[in-house]
């Protein structure tokens, strides 16, 4: 079988985006079983460092994507004007417009002509805009966020937010019905999408690489970590909530407790949060093992966005317990003591304080987290699930063609 994987980000083993790490593990496992090629957007820096791609891939096509910092002031102004016109006239959400590229369309059509794939794996909602370019090949669209609008900042003071959400809803309604198969990352999201679009939605579980090095939260300092790519709106939103509502309550119970915020693309807002008592801003940390090895737990309540949180799974795989809410722990059934699920600032603070005061409890929670991850996050098992779904889809399409 020949399969084309299409991604909005470059799957790298040490990527800063959780979805990219997930796709790296999936691509490597799939490429050991089928002939797999990939088309992906990549920034200038990523194109220079593609040695981190899965070695098993049959081939890779990289489509340039310029980040804001790589553009001149004039170029940013022109882009903003174009986004505004398309946002108003075509009703497309800004997140989709930022990934709109004629070069991607040309690359996909060239791959269809030369590679002739049996099926396409199209990753993440923003890439559903390319479904037309992939015809007539059957497409599996995997939504990592359960069709949840995450509006970018449109205008100052929140102006335009309502229209941006409406644009997302129209986009989902139009595009999510076009794919031959729709998938989510967990059963809860699949059920939600199935009700919304009136169709069967499959589940392709998330994956993270299981590191050899295991953290020791029982001997770590009383530090609690929240990490992620700060360009993804739910992450700075969660950081503000942690600093404003949770950390003060935690430090009342455990005065030595500190909150570490880590991840790339942190702007002035993150710098301002780092000035608050008990907060450390680490920025991008290449040594993930070292970062997770120096904390008592990951503290990750999220206020928006759905899907499975790779940051949560990554912590569990390293043997670090997670304190979060139901949104952050969606699709994770590790249970106590590996995870603690609470919805209020007081309860979240109390759970962290308990881990801060009881090193033995933190050690037991870390061991339980690692055991759950080893049993549930296998790349080979998820790849087998995906290939089985592809075979079922293709067999069904062939039967429909014969009956037609």
User: Of the candidates 171, 169, 96, 179, which has an alpha carbon nearest to the alpha carbon of residue 142?
Assistant: 179
Q: Which residue, chain included where needed, has tokens 């079988």?
A: 1
CATH code matching the domain that covers 217-376, chosen among 3.40.50.2000, 3.40.309.10, 3.50.50.60, 3.40.30.10: 3.40.50.2000
- Is this prediction's pTM over 0.85? no
Tokens representing residue 263 in the block? 């991840």
- State whether residue 63 is helix, strand or coil: strand
Write the burial class of residue 83 (CB in 10 Å: 0-12 exposed, 13-18 middle, 19+ buried).
middle
Pairing of β 35-42 and β 223-227 = unpaired
Q: What angle do CA 24, 366, 334 make, to 5 degrees?
A: 70
Of 89-93, 95-99, 241-245, the poorest mean pLDDT is in 89-93
- Tell me the CB-side half-sphere exposure of residue 157, using CA atoms within 13 A: 1
Q: What angle do CA 62, 386, 29 make, to 5 degrees?
A: 60
Residue-wise pLDDT tens digits, 387-404: 999 999 999 999 887 776
Pairing of β 201-203 and β 181-184 = parallel
Q: How far apart are CA 152 and CA 131, in angstroms?
A: 23
pLDDT at residue 22 greater than cutoff 60: yes
Q: How far apart are CA 321 and CA 339, in angstroms?
A: 6
Residue-wise pLDDT tens digits, 120-129: 999 999 999 9
Topology, domain 2-207+378-403:
Rossmann fold (3.40.50)
Sorted by sequence, the CB contacts under 8 Å of residue 363 that are 6+ apart come out as 216, 217, 218, 219
- State whether residue 242 is helix, strand or coil: helix
Q: How many CB atoms lie within 10 A of CB 335?
A: 12
The helix, strand and coil proportions of the chain, stated in percent and rounded to the nearest 5, come to: 50, 15, 35
**DSSP summary character for residue 300:** E
Write the burial class of residue 351 (CB in 10 Å: 0-12 exposed, 13-18 middle, 19+ buried).
buried
Backbone angles phi, psi at 308, to 5 degrees: -90, 135
The torsion defined by the Cα of 268, 229, 126 and 147, in degrees rounded to 10, comes to -100
Q: What angle do CA 315, 317, 319 make, to 5 degrees?
A: 70
Q: How far apart are CA 215 and CA 138, in angstroms?
A: 43
156 pLDDT band (50/70/90 cuts)?
low
161 pLDDT band (50/70/90 cuts)?
confident
Topology alike, domains 2-207+378-403 and 217-376? yes
Q: How far apart are CA 211 and CA 25, in angstroms?
A: 12
**DSSP summary character for residue 85:** H
pLDDT at residue 68 greater than cutoff 60: no
Residue-wise pLDDT tens digits, 29-66: 999 999 999 999 988 777 665 667 888 899 999 999 86
Q: Which position has the higher pLDDT, 367 or 208?
A: 367
Residues 183-206 as b or e (16 or more Cβ within 10 Å = b):
bbbbebbbebbeeeeeeebbbbbb
The structural domains of the chain, with segments of one domain joined by +, span: 2-207+378-403, 217-376
Give the pLDDT score at 362.
Answer: 97
Q: How many CB atoms lie within 10 A of CB 236?
A: 21
pLDDT at residue 354 greater than cutoff 60: yes
Give the pLDDT score at 55.
Answer: 83
Write the burial class of residue 109 (CB in 10 Å: 0-12 exposed, 13-18 middle, 19+ buried).
middle
Q: Is 354 left (phi over 0), alpha (psi -120 to 50) or beta?
A: alpha
**DSSP summary character for residue 301:** -
Q: Which residue, chain included where needed, has tokens 């109390």?
A: 350
Give the pLDDT score at 86.
Answer: 66
Give the pLDDT score at 149.
Answer: 78
Q: What is the mean pLDDT of the chain?
A: 89
Give the pLDDT score at 10.
Answer: 87
Helix locations, 13-72, DSSP H: 18-31, 44-48
- State whether residue 279 is helix, strand or coil: strand
User: Of the candidates 392, 386, 379, 368, which has an alpha carbon nearest to the alpha carbon of residue 320?
Assistant: 368
pLDDT at residue 150 greater than cutoff 80: no
Q: How far is CA 321 from CA 69, 257, 299, 308, in A?
A: 35, 16, 9, 16
Give 139's strand partners: 120
Give the pLDDT score at 95.
Answer: 84
Q: How many CB atoms lie within 10 A of CB 93?
A: 27
């Amino acid at each position: 079988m020949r399969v084309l994987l299409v991604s909005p980000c470059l799957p790298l083993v040490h990527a800063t985006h959780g979805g990219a790490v997930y796709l790296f593990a999936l691509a490597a496992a799939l490429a050991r079983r089928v002939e797999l090629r990939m088309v992906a957007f990549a920034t200038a820096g990523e194109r220079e460092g593609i040695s981190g791609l899965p070695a098993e891939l049959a081939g890779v096509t990289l489509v340039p994507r310029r980040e804001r910092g790589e553009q001149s002031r004039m170029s940013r102004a022109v882009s903003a004007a174009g986004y505004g016109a398309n946002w108003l006239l075509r009703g497309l959400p800004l997140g989709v417009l930022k990934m709109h590229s004629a070069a991607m369309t040309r690359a996909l059509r060239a791959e269809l002509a030369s590679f002739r794939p049996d099926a396409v794996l199209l990753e993440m909602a923003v890439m559903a805009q390319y479904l037309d370019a992939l015809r007539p090949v059957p497409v599996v669209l995997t939504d990592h966020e359960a069709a949840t609008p995450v509006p970018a900042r449109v205008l100052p003071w929140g102006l335009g937010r309502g229209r941006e959400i409406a644009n997302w809803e129209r986009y989902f309604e139009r595009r999510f019905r076009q794919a031959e198969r729709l998938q989510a990352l967990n059963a809860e999201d699949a059920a939600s999408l199935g009700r919304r679009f009136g169709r069967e939605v499959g589940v392709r579980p998330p994956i993270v690489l299981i590191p050899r090095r295991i953290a020791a939260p029982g001997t770590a300092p009383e530090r609690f970590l929240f990490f992620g790519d700060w360009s993804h709106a739910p992450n700075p939103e969660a950081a503000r909530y942690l600093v404003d509502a949770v950390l003060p309550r935690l430090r009342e119970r455990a005065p030595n407790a500190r909150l570490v915020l880590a991840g790339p693309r942190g702007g002035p807002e993150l710098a301002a949060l780092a000035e608050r008592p008990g907060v450390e801003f680490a920025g991008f940390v290449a040594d993930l093992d070292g970062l997770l090895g120096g904390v008592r737990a990951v503290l990750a309540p999220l206020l928006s966005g759905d899907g499975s949180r790779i940051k949560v799974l990554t912590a569990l795989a390293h043997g670090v317990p997670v304190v979060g809410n139901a949104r952050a722990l969606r699709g994770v059934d590790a249970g106590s003591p590996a995870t603690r699920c609470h919805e209020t600032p007081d309860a979240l603070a109390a759970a962290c304080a308990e881990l801060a005061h009881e090193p033995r409890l933190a050690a037991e929670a870390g061991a339980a987290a690692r055991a759950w991850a080893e049993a549930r996050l296998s790349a080979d098992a998820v790849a087998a699930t995906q290939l089985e779904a592809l075979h079922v889809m293709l067999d069904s399409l062939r039967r429909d063609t014969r009956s037609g």
